């Protein structure tokens, strides 16, 4: 796939093979690994009992994070629908309008946090070789790097 900025201030992901769709679909799967409560509960655990995190903030975080994933899923569904309608050449594209950029960034972050939680990669600069990784962990690491790269493009070209 190729990722490029649009004139409207967003991003366009050009799909080059059917596998690209599978890779993008992994974003929501990875983000939801461990359940939709995992990240809000983990963040809430940092607070003391005097705060009202459990009652007030955690439900809000959960709704916000779910909304980010929904935005990504719907963005891909729009792109896939256009391919099925024959409106796009080749394998289609996914558009990330500027207004959706924070949601995409957040969903990618959720996916990377979940992958880190499961596989414990640690700082990327300290990883010298993937040889010791199992096939599953290596695949997860490659996805993590892809999500990281996409976040970098969003930061550089879209997010203010």
Partner 1 sequence: MVPVETPIIKKKAKQSTELDGPWTVVVFDDPVNLMEYVAKVFQKVFGYSRAKAEELMMTVHKAGKALVWTGSRERAELYVQQLQQYQLQASLEKSK
Q: Confirm or reject binding of residue 38 to partner 1 (CB under 8 A).
A: no
Q: Confirm or reject binding of residue 130 to partner 1 (CB under 8 A).
A: no
| Footprint of partner 1 on 5-34 (CB under 8 A) | none
H or E segment at 96? strand 93-96
> Quick check: 154 and 99 in contact, CB under 8 A?
no
| Footprint of partner 1 on 77-106 (CB under 8 A) | 105-106
Q: Residues 6 or more apart from 70 whose CB is under 8 A from it?
A: none
The CB-of-13 to partner 1 minimum distance in angstroms stands at 19
CA dist., res. 56 & res. 65, Å (int): 15
Q: Confirm or reject binding of residue 145 to partner 1 (CB under 8 A).
A: no
Q: Which of 18, 35, 86, 122 binds partner 1 (CB under 8 A)?
A: 122
């Amino acid at each position: 796939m190729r990722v490029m900025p649009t004139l409207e201030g967003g991003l366009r992901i050009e799909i080059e093979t059917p596998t690209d769709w599978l890779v993008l679909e992994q974003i929501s799967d990875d983000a939801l690994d461990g359940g939709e409560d995992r990240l809000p509960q983990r963040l809430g655990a940092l607070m003391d009992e005097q705060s009202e995190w459990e009652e007030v903030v955690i439900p809000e975080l959960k709704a916000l994070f779910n909304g980010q994933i929904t935005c990504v899923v719907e963005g891909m569904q729009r792109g896939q629908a256009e391919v099925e309608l024959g409106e796009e050449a080749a394998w289609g594209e996914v558009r990330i309008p500027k207004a959706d950029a924070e949601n995409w960034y957040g969903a990618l972050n959720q996916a990377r946090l979940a992958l880190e939680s499961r596989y414990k990669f640690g700082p990327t600069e300290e990883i010298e070789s993937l040889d010791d990784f199992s096939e599953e962990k290596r695949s997860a690491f490659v996805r993590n790097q892809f999500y990281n790269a996409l976040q970098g493009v969003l930061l550089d070209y879209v997010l203010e």
